[in-house]
Structures are given as C-alpha cells and as structure tokens.
Copies of this chain bind each other. A is one copy, B any other.
Amino acid sequence: MLKIVIFGTGNLAKHLYTAFLKADGVDVVQVVGRNVKELQQFSEYSTISNDFNAIIDADVYLIAVKDDAISEVSEFLMDKNGIVAHTSGAISLNTIQAANKGVFYPLQTFTKDKEVDFSNIPICIESEGKDSFETLNTLSKSISENVHYIDSEQRKKLHLAAVFVNNFTNYLYSVGEELCLEEGLSFDLLKPLIMETAHKIQNMSPQDAQTGPARRNDIKSMKSHQELLNKKEHITLYKLLSQAIIQAHEEEL
C-alpha cells in the first residue's frame, strides 16, 4: 500500500484526492493546507492538518499548490525519506527543496465540481532515481493507463503547447460566442462544430485537417470576413491567424 500526503485544497488537490480514494493500493493518509475551511471536506476519509510541521510519514508527498508556493512547501519536507513531487507543468524538478524529488503532472484542465475520469489522462512523471520512478509509476498507474516519463525541459514545452490548445483555443471559442451574441444568435449553434473540430484531430494530424478561407488562400472571403468584424483586436487576430495558416501550408510545398 502506497501512503501519500496531498498538499493543497484547490481544484487539482480535490480531483486527485477523489481519484486516489477510489484507487487500489493507495492510501491518502493526510491532506495538508493553509485553508482550514477547505480542509474540512477531506476530513471524512483522511487526517487533515494546517500545520506544515506535523506531516505524517508517507511514500509520496504530492504538492498540488500554486506554482509560486511549491518551493516553500517543499522546504517543510527536507528531512523526509519519501518522494516529494509537485504537480505542475511549468516548474522544474529542481525547484523542489528535498532529497527525493519528483514530478507528477496530470495533463488536463480541471473544472470545479465537474467529475474527472483520470483513466485516459496523461500523467507525466519525472524523478531522479530509478526507485523513485518505480514508485511514481505505480502511483500514476493506480489512476491512469496513460503514464509517461517526461523530463523538465519536455514538460515545459508540453505545458506551453497546452496553453495553445486549451487557453488560447478557449479564447477563440469566446470570440465565437461574442460574434453570435452580436447577431442575437445562441452560442449553442457553434457547439456541435466545436466538438467535431476537437474530435477530428483525434485520428488525423491538425496539419492535414486544416480547412477554411486561409487554407484555400481565398482572399475575397478573408476580406469580407474582416469587414464583418467590429473589434480591432478581432481583425488583428483574424489577419495574423490567417497569415500563419497560409504560411504553414506554403512551407509544405
């Protein structure tokens, strides 16, 4: 049985906690965090503490706090024998102030109160020693079938790629919503298209899936689209993305 302590009471901490509670071979012995009110929800099945000097011995200490606080939290774990692992895409392994460093990064977006099925979520792990790797691997496999060894440099790039396909894509969705509302139309009209666009690239490279006026270099359509846009920043974005698509496919030739 792997004993783990989770640090943090936010979205990710909660989702990981719920997943590990159901997992075989894992026992969440403690949840540690500053927010006493938020800590209560973990009290039914685990010990809780807001005292970072009263941490129970465990095999893995999972730090699921804001990036800026990872180093500080890890300092409380300097003398522990277990693996001290953070859960961030953007932070190096070496940010951890402890002997036995690790990373346990689930590559997914987590929404409050929306249940998560971890089984298909990529868990990106990193460690210094082979033993630590085996432990993190076992821990990951208790909740996901999609576990990968990814080093700090790769992970940073992956996290950046995630910003493009998640944060920036979501912004494009919000532009779509805005354009619908300008015409008194429901954003619901775009939802099947959004799902299909995401679905399409599950079995096809996005490079090959590219369609639209820019892909065809259809200057007339692009011009009339720009005339329909009211906001200057939407026009700039339209031009830049169209130009990028044209250029990406010129390079192909």
Within 8 A of B (CB), among A154-198: 154, 156-158, 160-177, 179-180, 182-185, 187-198
A170 touches B225 (CB 8 A): no
Q: Provide the main secondary structure of the chain A interface.
A: helix
Within 8 A of B (CB), among A180-222: 180, 182-185, 187-202, 204-207, 209-215, 221
Q: How far is the CA of A70 from the CA of B212 in the complex (A)?
A: 18
Q: How many copies does the complex hold?
A: 2
B228 touches A233 (CB 8 A): no
- Asked if A23 lies at the interface with its beta carbon under 8 angstroms from chain B, I say no
A47-55, A75-83, A107-115: which lies at the B interface? Answer: A107-115
A2-10, A24-32, A133-141, A240-248: which lies at the B interface? Answer: A240-248
A: contact size bracket? 35 or more
B170 touches A109 (CB 8 A): no
* 20 more A-B residue pairs beyond the given contacts A158-B185, A158-B189, A160-B179, with a C-beta to C-beta distance below 8 A: A108-B193, A108-B196, A111-B204, A121-B192, A122-B188, A154-B183, A154-B185, A161-B180, A161-B190, A165-B193, A166-B197, A166-B212, A167-B211, A169-B198, A170-B197, A171-B244, A174-B207, A195-B198, A197-B198, A240-B240
Interface residues of A (CB under 8 A from B): 67, 90, 107-109, 111, 114, 120-122, 124, 146, 148, 150, 153-154, 156-158, 160-177, 179-180, 182-185, 187-202, 204-207, 209-215, 221, 224-225, 228-229, 233, 236-238, 240-241, 243-245, 247-248
